[in-house]
Structures are given as structure tokens and as C-alpha cells.
Structure 1
């Protein structure tokens, strides 16, 4: 259970609730103990009357009535405290589940991009849902039944030894055999539980990817192939679950066999000792039979709890694997560091740690607040990498990246990212209203601010054309909108944030030239006192920038203004001439 030690901090957090649960468990167990005692007393009284040892029938009726009332009262009180016990332990398990899910999700948010490139979304989802649910079973039911079992064993077996020690030894003799069998089976359960969880992650990942890419699947007509792959995974999962169920199925029959042996021993040994006069009261044998059968559920629970603990151990190990992963990007500065927006790259070389591809080689440039820098280049030349480094999605290893003449690593990470409005190449929208998607840039924004941002992004007219306007709910990843509309909503999201730095990563590629011109004019007015970097393949998007750099295989091959570059032979002039010809045609 070494992996489950991680949960000890939650046990400490809710220790008073758990201690209350332990106290209630003990009280409930004590009341359970009264029932067999009174049944035994009643049997003894009746036996004495039948043997002629007691002749007063009224006395026998009175004793039986008292015992019945005590039985009823003890049963009701035991039921009440058992209910309270479940309320205490199960509620704590839900609290722990809530805390653990939040901790995992917050840790996911802190982890760097490289982590998400190496791990699949379905697996991440499975660990925060299915694995946490398995862990909750350990914190709640497993803990509750363990405490109940221990308390019941201590109280009942102590009383049994006090009443008839020899008979008790015979009654509990099969239990060590059961303990050894449980230990052997639990090892197998742990191994098979781990495999089952791994298959569940594979299934979750496969279905998540299939639903996300359903449009591509339908377009290529590969439904049968995808279904066959799913059936293969599901078949593997079924086989592994059956293997696990076969082992778990041994618990209950084994428990029933050993409890049955205990009953036989109690009847035979107890009867023999009563006949020999070594047990004074006949009711003692009846008491012991009830006690042995009362131990049936706790013994069964031992197997069930062991299974739950093993599953939780396997799940917590998978959770810990991610929780122990340190974010590659850490906030090294706790004090606030306001951002003005000056950006300087100085002989910067960057290699992606996950692929080993060198995306930038000795890149140097300076952009001051109020200036616009445009970056042009072929696909894979390193344009998007520059924007990722400015947002500190990766750390620089060679060269320098300064913001306001301070190394980017010496800035408060939250202040840095709060000062950036980033529009990615592939616009991502949430399954929410258009209004809330724009407000993602500024949660407290008024409706007027939302409309103003949408107008500047040239998407307002499109939005009011929808039946529900700004309250239109988008499909997953913004499927309700066209490519150009998604890009413009994403631009509105950046505008409404009113940041010091605006980063546009080829975000006008799906917009027609007329709309592009309108957006650029609006952005020119908005970004007068801001630092703006535009990545684009279109000369029309970059021609008004203060500075333009041209990248090729991670190196700056040209630098200057639009007027300067169109008069110099090279990539920029060729691209300009080509696009000018296409426009004329």
C-alpha cells in the first residue's frame, strides 16, 4: 500500500470526522453484540422451563418480553448508528474525491506543453475520473468496512473467549486459512487490476479521438475499420476483466465454506461440551452460532476490501505517476513584475526537448512597446516557435530572451501571461456560448465590451445573424462556426483582454482579403501603445508592420520594412510578386 500513503494528508485533514466515525462504529458494534446475548438468554430460559428447572410461566413470559424489548431496542440503535457511520465515512470519501480531482486538474494545468505531446487526452481523462473513483472506494467503503470488521472481531471474539474459550478456538480456527488465501489472491488481483485500468485508458483514448475526428472518419468512409479497431480493444478489455472476475469470484465461495466449517465445529464441539457439563447454559451454543454468522459478513468484507485496496493501489500508482511529474516551466518569481512589452531576442537558439528538432538558430531582434513586428517564412521555419517562447511555453537554453530588459525567467509567470493576448493558428473555442467564448479573455467583461471586441474582429454581423445571437451555443471545438468565424471570435477574445502584448499566429488565413483589411485597420488603432507580433503567409497582413523578419529553417534571412524588402532580391520580394500576380488574376 505504499502508493496509497499519498492519501495520508487527506486523512489528516478530515481526522476529526474520521475519529467520530470510529467512535460511532464502536457504539454500533456494541449494540450488535446485545442481540445474540439476549437470544441466548431467551433460549436458556425456555430450556430451563422445559426441563422443569423453572416452573413459573409468568416469570418466563416476563423474561422473554424483557429480552424481546431489549433485542428490538438494540437492533434499532445499532441500525441508527450504522446509518450515521455510513454517513460519516462515505461523506469523507466524497470530500477526498473532490480534493484529489481538483489537485490532479490543477497539476495538469501546471504541466508544460511537452507533457501533453507525450500523453493522450483519453488517458489523462481516465486517471482523473475512473482512477480517482477507485481510490474513493478505498477512502470510503474499504476504510469503513475495515474499521467495522476490526471492531466487530475485537468485541465479539473477546466476549466469546470470556464465555467459552475452548469453543472459541474451534470457532475461529478456519480464519487463518482464509487470511492466507486472501493474501495469495490479492497479489493476483493487484496485477490484473492494473492491466484492466490500462485497457480502460486505451478504450477512453480511442473513443475520445474517434468522436473528436468523427467528421474525418465519415468523410473517408472508414466507419467499419474504426469499429473493427474498437471491437478489438473492447475484446481485450473484456478478456482482462473476466480474468479479474474469475479471481474475485473465489472469495465468496471460500468464505462460505470456512464459515460453514465454523458452524459445524460450534455445533459439534459445543454440543459435546454441553452434554459433558463443560458448558453450563444451552443458550451459549446458540449465541456462538449467531456470533459466527455475524462474522460471515466481516470475513466476506475482508476479501472485498482487499480487492478494493488492490484496485485503489493500482489506480493511485497511475495517479502518482503524473502527480510526481514536475512542470518543465516553473514560476521562479513570487513578487509582481509589471510588463510594459519590450521584447528582445539575442542570439537565441531553441531545440524542442521532445523531438530534438532545432527550430530557431541564432535569432536576434528587438520590438519596443507600440511597434508591430511581422514574421514571414515557409512552413516549419520557426515562426510559431517565437510566439511560444514569448509566452514561455518552453524555456530558452541557448541565447537570451528578455522582456523589458529582464530575462523572461526572472519575470512572474502569471504577470507575463496575463499581459499577453494570444491568437493561435488553430483557433480553439469551447462548447459554450459565443459571448462566453469571447469573455474567456476577460471574465468580468460587460456586454458592451463583448460587442466592441466582436466589431473590431469583424465578426459582430455574423453573430447577430444567428437566431440566438451572442447566446448561440457552439458545438465541440466551435464546430457551429466556419473557419474564418472561429478565427475572428478568437481575435475578439484577445482584443477584449486589452493586453500589453498581442501575438497573432497566422490567424487571418481563413478570412477573405476585404475582412482581413478591416480587421487589420482596427488592430492598428487598438495596438498603438501595445507590442504586436503578427505571423502570416500573406504580405497584405504584414505590409504595415514597423519591422518584418523573414525566417528560413530557423534563421533570419531578411529583415526590414515592407518598402525596403520589396526592393531587395530574396524570399520576401518573390512572395510579394507571386501574391500580387494571384490577386490580379
Structure 2
């Protein structure tokens, strides 16, 4: 919590102003009972109307001054807290952007969403309260005790009797309630996870008629969160009744013993009224403190969860100096092996090959051979377990992620578009791309025809997830996004699967001239896509089963020939 509070240093002048205003408000509240005591003892009892008006006017002035200070303090405390939340949210987002896929797997997407939203909101709320209470509660508590003792020291012994009961009750309730806050946040993570999976996978759920089962799954997660939330609220619900009970008993005792002291001539009525007010202020200060104690533990849990994300060093992050390229457009896998965290066997074993500038390297293999894993290692989505990957002659672990990825145009297996226009989606690959560059990239990607048929052309809006365009159209826009970047290495991870054979052939033909100074890595399921590649890498169970041209592999490699025979007829193979 303290670690996150350091971010408030940006708002130090606002914080100091809030503390000053809260101090003024507290002093005004402490002064009012004394004025009321004077009105009763020196005005009402004696019958001095002029004095009543005089002190009454002063009370109104002090009350108004305190109220204005309170309103302004509330405004600026909210401003500081909201600013803190915005800054932390931005910080978390920028940090998470640097995570490898392995880091994402460690936290889980649903948990990261909860930490960026709900957890930061919890911190914001407690900061608002702390800015108001951290000065006000101690001043009201200490000031109330001093003024109560000043009015009547013997009557103040009542406070000594009731205070331990109140403090003990608060500590017991907090002891029971605080451990439950962490459980609440974890259950919220689980609910968020189930909701996210249901919303993103709605097509699959409906296709397999799994609505009823998923509904039960959501109900279970919801019920678990509800149960622990009710449990923690039941514990915390005791806090206010206990405090009110102790407060009212204290007031009754003060009136009882105060009446005896007035009857004995040891105390005036006005002092008793003021004393009751000070007792109420002391108790109210404890109520404020207890409310803060309720919120702080939950916010502390949230703060720890946020700090876990911020303190997590991305596993594939290297912010060293950018290394100068020795070669342009080359890719080398030097005896690379890779295992997913916790996996019993490696996904890739001893992968060794070179891809040169101006050449097309195709990767083919059966389902689960490790094709997508292999290409995911190039942009450092994961780091290799052993061996080395070199881009332009430089080990990708010896330079920053940003430097490595700036040289790569990546088209993922699942085409992903963002909400916005087609222009904005293609420009995502190069933020300063001109309209001419965008249109050229679309032309090469075979997307120009369908874009020109749209009413708004390149300004046509793509809905969330690209749901208003077909799978093939999404793939072609994704390809255009990579082409506009003009990188040293193009990676197409099974990116032609949704294209018909004619569009596939036209695209590969257009790519020849466009990428003649770059390296092309094509992952494909269809033999027709890779048949013209300069070298074909055949993967089988995570290892290289063969490297060569289509003709060479057809003659010498049984794994490749089996793939070819499953897709092409004897006439086509011949």
C-alpha cells in the first residue's frame, strides 16, 4: 500500500492543501461546543439575549467556515485520488504490455482485468477516505479528549471505562474480517474469468448446445463470490451496532454522572452539554477510524495484487542498448529447444536452420507438430529454453523487445481486427503510414477489391473483433497491416487458410516483388501454399524431420510425402 502511495508525490500540493483544509474543519468542529457552552451558561441561564445573538452569530460563522473547508477538501481529495487511480492504471497497462505470453499465463487475463479495474478502484476509495480521515480523526480524538478533560477531568473517567471495550470490539471484528477480503478478490477473479470465457466463446457454446452447463458454471462462481461477500459483510455489520451501543451507553453514563456533578455544584449545564458534544466527537473519530480500518485492509489486499503485477519483471524483457545489425533480413535458429512452463516434455527439440533475405522459408507439419510455437519464439512471445535465435545476426535476447519486434511483420493464425476504420487497422502496423502506403499494402494483400466495394471504402468501420467482415477479409486486412510495416522478416502463421486457392496464388505472386529484400516465414497446412518455397522445413513431433525444396523432400522425406499424398492426387504430385 505504501509503495503505491508514493505515486501521490505528483499531487503533493493538492494533498497538503487537503490536509490544511481538514485541519481547519476539525478545529472549527472542536470550537463549536465551547461556544454552545458559553451561550447556555452566560446567555440562556442569565437571560442575556444580546450575548446569545453575538455568540450565535459567531457559531454560524465558524460552522460556515468549517463547512466550506470540508467541501473544498472533499473536492481536492477526490481529484488527487482519481488522478492516482489514472496514473496507476496507466502504469499497470504499460507494464503488462511488456509481458511475454508466459507472464500472461502466470496471472491470467481475467485476473489482470480485475487488478486493473476493481483493485485500483478499491485503492482510490481508501485514498479519498485517508486524505479526509488521516488528519481529521486524530485531531478530533485527541482534541476531544483534551477539551473534555478541560471541561471536567473527573467526568472524563467515563471515557477511560468505555474506550477499551470499543477498541477491543473493533480489533476483534477486523481480525475476523480481514482474511476474507483476499478471498473476495480471488472469487471476483474467478467470476470475471467465467464471464469472459462465456462472452468470447459464445459461438462455440451455442454450437454445442452448452448454454445450460455454462449457466450452471456461472451460477457456481457467482454463488461462491456471494457467499464469501455475505460472510465478510456479516462480520463487518457488527462494527456499527457495537460502536453505536458503546457510544450511547457512554452518553447515558455522562448524563447520569454529569447530573450528579451539576446537582453538587461542581459543573454547569453548559459544560455538560459541551462535554456530551466532545464525547460524541471522540466516538465519531473512532467510528471514522474504524471505517478506515475496514477499507484499508481490503485496499491493502488490492494494492498487493497491483504490486505483484508491477514488480513482475517480464521474463523476455531486456532493456539493454540496441545492438547494431550485422546482416539485414536474416533469421537463424541455432539448436533451439523450448518447453512450456510445467510441461513434462519439450514442444520443440534441437531446431536448427537459417532463413536468408529474399528467400521464402515454409514450415509444414501435422497438427501439434509445434509450428505456431516455433514462430511465436521469433518475436519473443516466449523465450527459448536452450539454444539461440538470431535476427539479422543478433541474438534476440541481447536486445530489447521493441527492437526485435520493429523488424518483424507478424500475421497471427487467428486474424484479429480492432474496432475502428480499415485505415486505422492497417495503420496499426505503421502509425505514420501515408494513405498511398495503406492502399499499396491492401492491393498486395488482395484486399483492395472488397474494400473499394464498401460504401465508405478505407473509412469503413470495423466492428469489435471484425464481426462485420468475413474470415478471408479479416485475414487480408491483417496481412496488409504487416505489409505496410515493411519489416526485415515477415511471419505468416497459417495466414492463408481462409483464402480460396485463386486468392492464395495471387497473394503469393504479389508478395514475391514486395518482399524480395526481406525474409518470408510461412506456416501452412496446405501443400499448394508452400510448394514454391525456397526451402521447406518439415516438423514432426517438435523436431525437424527434413529440410529442402518441394522436389527434394518429395523424393527423400517420407513425412513430407505422406502430407503431400493426403492432399494432392497422383496427377498433381507428378
The aligned residue for residue 55 of structure 1 is none
Q: Which runs of structure 2 are paired with 1:226-375 in the superposition (5 Å)?
A: 226-279=214-267, 281-335=268-322, 337-338=324-325, 340-375=328-363
Note the C-alpha offset of 1:578. 4.4
Greater Cα shift, 234-243 or 317-326 = 317-326
Tell me how far apart the structure 1 counterparts of residues 185 and 393 of structure 2 sit (CA, whole Å). 50
Q: Is the 8 A contact 1:439 1:450 kept in 2?
A: yes
Question: Structure 1: how far apart are the matches of 2:543 and 2:293?
Answer: 60
| Partner residue in 2 for 1:565 | 553
Report the alpha carbon displacement of residue 523 of structure 1 after superposing the two structures with TM. Answer: 1.1
Q: CA 1:411/1:314 → structure 2, altered by over 3 Å: closer, same or farther? A: closer
Candidates 431, 443, 452, aligned match of 1:455: 443
**Cα deviation code 1:63-116 (max 9, x no counterpart):** 111111101111110001111211222221112211221222222222221122
Secondary structure at the aligned position of 2:461 is classed as: coil
**Structure 1: unaligned runs, 5 residues or longer:** 51-59
CA distances 1:431-471 after superposition (whole Å, capped 9, x unpaired): 33332222211122233322221221112222233344333
Structure 1 residues 555 and 65: CA distance shift in structure 2, 3 A: same
Q: Is the 8 A contact 2:15 2:77 kept in 1?
A: yes
Deviation at 1:260, TM superposition (A): 0.9
2:29 to 32, 39, 44: 32
**CA deviations over 1:377-428 (Å, ceiling 9, x no partner):** 2122222232122212222332332223332222232111111000111112
1:197 to 173, 185, 188: 185
The corresponding residue for 2:400 is 412
Give the deviation of 1:528 after TM superposition.
0.7
- Could you say which residue in structure 1 is the equivalent of 2:145? 157
* TM-score, structure 1 as length reference: 0.92
Structure 2 residue runs of 5 or longer lacking an equivalent are none
* Residues 248-257 or 265-274, more deviating: 265-274
* Partner SS for 1:125: helix
Partner of residue 42, structure 1 = 39
Deviation sequence 1:357-393 (CA, Å, 0-9, x none) = 3222222222222222111221222222321222122
Aligned to 2:200: 212
By how many angstroms is 1:270 displaced?
1.9
Aligned to 2:462, the other structure's residue is in SS state: coil
Aligned to 2:334, what secondary structure does the other structure show?
strand
| Equivalence map 1:29-108=2 (5 Å) | 29-49=26-46, 60-108=48-96
Structure 1 residue matching 2:290: 3-state secondary structure = helix
Q: Is the 8 A contact 1:550 1:558 kept in 2?
A: yes
Other-structure match for 1:507: 495
1:16 equivalent in structure 2: 13
Task: State whether residues 189 and 310 of structure 1, in contact with CA within 8 Å, keep that contact through their aligned partners in structure 2.
Answer: no
Question: Which secondary structure does the structure 2 equivalent of 1:323 belong to?
Answer: helix
Counterparts of 1:116 and 1:308, CA distance in 2: 29
| Cα shift at 1:210 | 0.4
Change (3 A) 1:219 1:238: same
Checking the alignment, whether the CA contact within 8 Å between 2:32 and 2:63 is kept in structure 1 is yes
Q: How many Å apart are 1:567 and its aligned residue?
A: 4.2
**TM superposition shift of 1:569:** 5.3
Q: Within 1, Cα distance between the matches of 2:239 and 2:123?
A: 21
Rounded to whole Å, the distance in 1 between the matches of 2:367 and 2:355 is 23
1:438 to 419, 426, 432: 426
Deviations, residues 550-573 of structure 1 (Å, cap 9, x unaligned) = 222222222222343344453334
Equivalent residue for 1:537?
Answer: 525
Query: 2:7–2:84: 8 Å Cα contact kept in structure 1?
Result: yes
CA distance in 2, matches of 1:149, 1:162: 20
Q: 1:582 to 1:355 in 2, by over 3 A?
A: farther
Superposition deviation, residue 156 in structure 1? 2.4
Asked if 2 retains the 8 angstrom alpha-carbon contact of 1:332 and 1:409, the reply is no
Contact 2:158 2:254 in 1 (8 A): yes
Find the residue that maps to 2:257 and give its secondary structure.
helix
- Is 1:333–1:413's contact at 8 Å kept on the other side of the alignment? no
Q: Deviations over 1:275-309 (max 9, x none)?
A: 22222x32111111222233443232222211101
- Distance in 1 (CA, whole Å) between partners of 2:56 and 2:557 is 106
Residue aligned with 2:430, SS: coil
Aligned to 2:483: 495
User: 1:583 & 1:284 partners in 2: Cα distance?
Assistant: 111
Secondary structure of residue in 2 paired with 1:122: helix
Equivalent pairs counted in the alignment come to 572
Q: Is the 8 A contact 2:362 2:523 kept in 1?
A: yes
Secondary structure of the 1:502 match is strand
Greater CA drift, 67-76 or 283-292? 283-292
- Distance in 1 of aligned mates of 2:184 and 2:385: 41
* Stretch moving more, 75-84 or 363-372: 363-372
Quick one: distance in 2 between partners of 1:417 and 1:306? Answer: 47
Per the alignment, residue 57 of structure 1 pairs with none
Show structure 1 runs of 4+ deviating over 4 A: 582-585
